[in-house]
Amino acid sequence: MSTRVFPGTHIVTAGAAPAATLIEADLAILGAGIAGVAAALEAAALGRKVVLIDGAQQLGGQSTGSLIGTFCGFYGNGPQPCRVVYGAASRMLDDLRKAGATQPRHGRNTLILMYREQALARWIEDAVLAADTIKPLLGSTLLGVRRQGNRIAGLDIATRFGAISVQAKGYIDASGDAALSHAAGFACREPDSPIMGSLMFSIEGIDEAAALALDRWQVQARLAEVGPRYGLVRRDGFVFAISGEGAFGGQALVNMTHVETPLDAEGQARAQIAGRQQADRVLDFLKGEYGAVFGRARVRHYGLLGIRQTRWIVGRESLTVQQVRQGHRHPDAILRCSWPIELHDRVDDAHWEVFGDDHMHYLPFGAMLPAEAENLLAAGRCVDGDAAALSSVRVMGPCFAMGSAAAHAFDLAMERGRGDAGAVNQIDIAALQARLADNLERCDPS
């Protein structure tokens, strides 16, 4: 074997497996979607050292990778709804608006903001890098969780560059699939039948004026009527035409697919491919039924498979659909929301329940706290509740507010300054609610 050394190079061999690189922090967050990013930014603003871990190669999770394209749950209901999520979300929404990267749209009795996913991706990246106390680890997979009784003691992380050992005082499971909680051996829930995900995609080359004039409900009725002819399984969904020039103009965001989202690697890969096949059939439908509008359309970008619900924690409290419908305010409420019940538990369509102008429902802190854990919180779609209740709080507004609540809860736990630092199950709920007052009471006009 040649051992010639070329100029500007040196020879290396792997040898024995090196020891894992140790990273210590106040807070370790698994999952860099909107909930994980919100938790990281809020914790950094509180002066905490944060490790933000994600298996993808970019920050933002589904908000940037799955072409969601719509900020839902940031506003209340009615013709002029007020905003209900603040903190770092205020800076995000203001910056994107100033950059011309959002468009307001009224639907489901609330205000929905359409956004350019690349603009959001860059905002998240800049915000994370500007926070000196956040250490992002991308392309990083959870291999194992070390426990000491009811406490998480550390995480074993695999990367293409070698193993990493993460040790923190507190941990946030923002993985979406309760991956950290499940790997730690804490009890989790899974649905008896799948809750469908969607593969969203964007198209370009449309007649923008004609697309904006389309009656959404007429398109949906036509889809239900002739969808089987095109091999489509979903009978509802939407095409959001985007008005404007430049990066926004002449495009539309499409969500008319339903795909199962299994919890295994091969199943996820097959689901991703199946979703893209459905997307192609949706485009065939649009061209075939609305040729004057979409005859020249082509797929601009396929999103990654969007996942709504797969596995979630068993918490100290569970949000119920009755509490959502009744607008019940829990004694330990940490956020409010008025987004509809949006349950995708059937292949062919979704169940919607839209609420009135004055409706608000709340998420209890106990739904974020795994029942057996001391220094672990869930944030995002893997908090505890029944499937219908969770369908109303898993959208981005409440998920952002959950991340903020988790960061403040751990900051309070660590302020105790004793051996139980990070024992988030022992914090003063009134003190937490005082910090989260804006997300519980403030109501700036839209």
| pTM tops 0.85 | yes
Residue 106 pLDDT > 60? yes
Question: For residue 145, what are the contacts with CB-CB under 8 A and spacing of at least 6?
Answer: 152, 154, 155, 156, 180, 183, 184, 185
> Residue 417: pLDDT band by 50, 70, 90 thresholds?
low
115-129, 155-169, 222-236, 417-431: least confident range: 417-431
> Residue 249: pLDDT band by 50, 70, 90 thresholds?
low
> Residue 247: pLDDT band by 50, 70, 90 thresholds?
very low
| Tens of pLDDT, residues 317-334 | 999 999 999 999 999 999
Q: Please report the pLDDT score of residue 14 as a whole number.
A: 79
